[in-house]
């Protein structure tokens, strides 16, 4: 598979996993139809949002697997799809070796005693009209567990275990603080004695001192009951603290996997590097270099070609045969993304349009003459409103593997990364016509 002899393991497989892991997700996809009304369907205009686009991962017993990424990257959708709260578009989810995407609703209900979930907002995830006793006891009712007195004892035990007072069983949610409500949410998840819990942003709504209490509680429970967690969060420092292994997501795909140590040791995926550098350091003497990514995450309806991160990536591989500096190349690429999207308001420019465009979009005047000539030609096409010609000209003349091929996950010294920078074949920027690892 690889010419450099790096072993290409299935994505996200931990080194030790010779036997079946607790949870194995393979090629998971979840697409939604946007604008799904009758007329757009009739006209073939319906658009697909690829919320999760081919994700594979494994979670071992007693392991915490962290999933991070910006809002809209699909991390919560993965959690819900694994739990079968949403039906996957493609792919399989194996729990103890059994593909649970094929279960009947009866079988799924039984599975809920083994897989549970804790949500981000405890205020909205607990029914305000039920007492704590009823909230936690609901699961016993559904799964017909225990006698009434056994249930009461168990609820009291659970409340004590999560750090609440057993006498609170008859209170209603509004009588509790946010941190206490999250403890009730945890007690509810624990009620059926699950082996696996999806924690979807469980601490992001909490104050820092309470956040630390809940994180410690989750770790204690794991040590005591051997529970596995899928821990979904946008806060890398929280995930780094709690997770054994981490996956970084971007636009529905996984950019990088690794242990916290691997992930935070350079070289990393440029996206991981940027995410990490964006976290404000709680140290006023810190004077590292902050990588500021341009713009926002592109729409998953029409994601960029090739590597989905290339439109914002500060390290896109320059085209073969040109002596381009990274900042020059980045400026040209950003302009090219605009041209591709027809996103240059020509009526706003006056005088020599090509020059005005260069100025407006900060094209450095240092770019080498051969590249500059190509750019000039493209801008001439833009000036006469022929975006298509400009676009294909730039695509053809300044070709980069990052915009052509979607990088597959490959093993590196530090974890597994989906980035062409780690593929020596692309070192000189040559784009091979055929690639064995197109798309994952």
Residues that bind another protein (CB under 8 A): 70-71, 163-165, 177-180, 183, 207-213, 215-217, 219-220, 234-238, 240-242, 264, 274-286, 290, 292-293, 296, 343, 345, 348
Q: What is the DSSP letter of 420?
A: G
Q: Which is nearer to another protein, 68 or 198 (CB)?
A: 68
CA atoms within 13 A on the CB side of 287: 1
- Least distance to another protein, CB of residue 143, Å: 27
- Least distance to another protein, CB of residue 128, Å: 19
Q: Which is nearer to another protein, 114 or 235 (CB)?
A: 235
Q: Which is nearer to another protein, 275 or 403 (CB)?
A: 275
Q: Which is nearer to another protein, 10 or 226 (CB)?
A: 226
Q: Which is nearer to another protein, 15 or 282 (CB)?
A: 282
- Least distance to another protein, CB of residue 327, Å: 17
What is the spatial distance between Cα 67 and Cα 257, in angstroms, rounded to a whole number? 9
The CA distances from residue 103 to 59, 108, 263, 416, 422, in Å, are: 20, 6, 35, 32, 40
- Least distance to another protein, CB of residue 439, Å: 25
- Least distance to another protein, CB of residue 353, Å: 15
Query: Any residues with CB less than 8 A from the CB of 42 and at least 6 apart, and which?
Result: none
Is there a contact between 218 and 167 (Cβ–Cβ < 8 Å)?
no
Q: What is the DSSP letter of 247?
A: E
- Least distance to another protein, CB of residue 24, Å: 28
- Least distance to another protein, CB of residue 95, Å: 28
Which residue in this structure is represented by tokens 């939604």?
32
Distance of CA 36 to the CA centre of its chain: 25
What is the spatial distance between Cα 228 and Cα 59, in angstroms, rounded to a whole number? 7
- Least distance to another protein, CB of residue 254, Å: 18
Q: Is 74 exposed, middle or buried (0-12, 13-18, 19+ CB in 10 A)?
A: buried
Residue 247 phi, psi dihedral angles, 5° rounding:
-120, 135
Q: Which is nearer to another protein, 13 or 293 (CB)?
A: 293
What is the spatial distance between Cα 178 and Cα 122, in angstroms, rounded to a whole number? 7
Q: Which is nearer to another protein, 82 or 239 (CB)?
A: 239
Q: Which is nearer to another protein, 102 or 285 (CB)?
A: 285
What is the spatial distance between Cα 382 and Cα 378, in angstroms, rounded to a whole number? 6
Decide the pairing of beta strands 410-412 and 47-59: unpaired
């Amino acid at each position: 598979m690889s010419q450099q002899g790096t072993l290409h393991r299935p994505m996200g497989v931990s080194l030790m996993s010779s036997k079946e892991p607790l949870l194995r997700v393979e090629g998971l996809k979840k697409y939604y139809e946007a604008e799904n009304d009758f007329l757009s369907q009739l006209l073939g205009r319906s658009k697909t949002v690829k919320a999760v686009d081919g994700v594979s991962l494994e979670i071992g017993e007693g392991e915490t697997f962290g999933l991070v990424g910006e809002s809209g990257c699909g991390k919560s959708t993965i959690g819900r799809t694994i739990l079968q709260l949403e039906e996957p578009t493609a792919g399989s989810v194996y729990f103890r070796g059994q593909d649970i995407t094929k279960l009947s609703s009866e079988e799924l209900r039984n599975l809920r005693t083994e897989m549970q979930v804790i949500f981000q907002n405890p205020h909205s995830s607990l029914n305000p009209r039920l007492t704590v006793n009823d909230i936690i006891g609901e699961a016993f009712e559904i799964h017909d567990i225990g006698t009434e007195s056994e249930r009461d004892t168990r609820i009291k035990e659970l409340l004590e275990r999560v750090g609440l007072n057993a006498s609170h069983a008859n209170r209603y949610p509004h009588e509790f603080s946010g941190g206490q409500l999250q403890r009730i949410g945890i007690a509810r998840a624990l009620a059926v004695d699950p082996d696996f819990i999806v924690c979807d942003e469980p601490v992001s709504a909490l104050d820092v001192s309470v956040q630390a209490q809940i994180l410690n509680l989750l770790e204690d429970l794991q040590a005591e009951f051997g529970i596995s967690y899928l821990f979904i969060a946008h806060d890398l420092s929280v995930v780094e603290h709690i997770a054994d292994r981490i996956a970084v997501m971007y636009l529905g795909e996984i950019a990088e996997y690794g242990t916290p140590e691997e992930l935070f040791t350079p070289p990393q995926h440029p996206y991981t590097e940027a995410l990490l550098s964006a976290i404000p350091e709680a140290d006023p003497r810190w004077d590292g270099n902050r990588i500021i990514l341009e713009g926002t995450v592109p729409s998953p309806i029409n994601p960029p070609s090739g590597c989905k991160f290339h439109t914002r990536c500060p390290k896109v591989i320059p085209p073969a045969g040109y002596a381009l500096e990274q900042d020059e190349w980045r400026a040209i690429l950003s302009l090219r993304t605009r041209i591709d999207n027809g996103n240059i308001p020509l009526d706003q420019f006056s005088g020599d349009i090509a020059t005005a465009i260069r100025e407006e979009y900060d094209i450095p005047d240092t770019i080498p003459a051969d590249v500059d000539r190509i750019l000039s030609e493209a801008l001439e096409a833009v000036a006469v409103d022929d975006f298509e010609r400009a676009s294909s000209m730039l695509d053809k003349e300044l070709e980069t593997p990052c915009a052509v091929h979607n990088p597959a996950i490959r093993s590196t010294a530090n974890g597994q990364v989906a980035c062409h920078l780690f593929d020596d074949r692309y070192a000189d920027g040559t784009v091979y016509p055929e690639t064995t690892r197109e798309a994952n």
